[in-house]
Amino acid sequence: MNLKKVLSPDAVWVDLKADSKQGIIEEMIARLVAAGKLSDREAVLKAVVEREAKMSTGMQNGVAIPHGKTDAVESLVAAIGINKSGVPFDSMDGSPCTIFIMTISPTQRTGPHIQFLAEVSRLISQPAERDRLLAAKTHGDIYEILTRK
């Protein structure tokens, strides 16, 4: 999957401010609403929080992948944010998360969501790529790192 088809520069942030799991989720959703990517903030928030309650999406190596499915979107919406301070996210390795990948997808469609996560996971599984993301100074730097081919 070409990440440029899903990600846009206005859905990539180097400066997430929240310092809690709930705060990160709410901040990312609010920024997606402000960017015009989502219209029903409450439905999306409910979907992501309900999914997170089933099992934490805090992975390892400082990565969290909060996501949800809702009919409030017609196609996959994705965002990536960085909080360099690290946020407790109930991660698998117990470490704070610094890289946040959010996806919101329609209830009945799974293909694009899985393809997007597979492509991003391929990138961030490499320590050097995670380091590059964390060293990024601007939103554009992150977008460029993720979408270069």
Catalytic residue numbers read 67
Dihedral, 29, 102, 22, 72 alpha carbons, nearest 10:
50
DSSP string covering 8-34, please?
-GGGEES-----SHHHHHHHHHHHHHH
Q: Where is 120: in which H helix or E strand?
A: helix 111-124
Assign 3-class secondary structure to 87-103. ECCCCCCCCCEEEEEEE
Could you identify the residue written with the tokens 């060293």?
135
Alpha-carbon dihedral sign for residues 97, 59, 65, 13: positive
User: Closest Cα to residue 41, out of 27, 24, 55?
Assistant: 27
Tokens found for residue 4: 């440029």
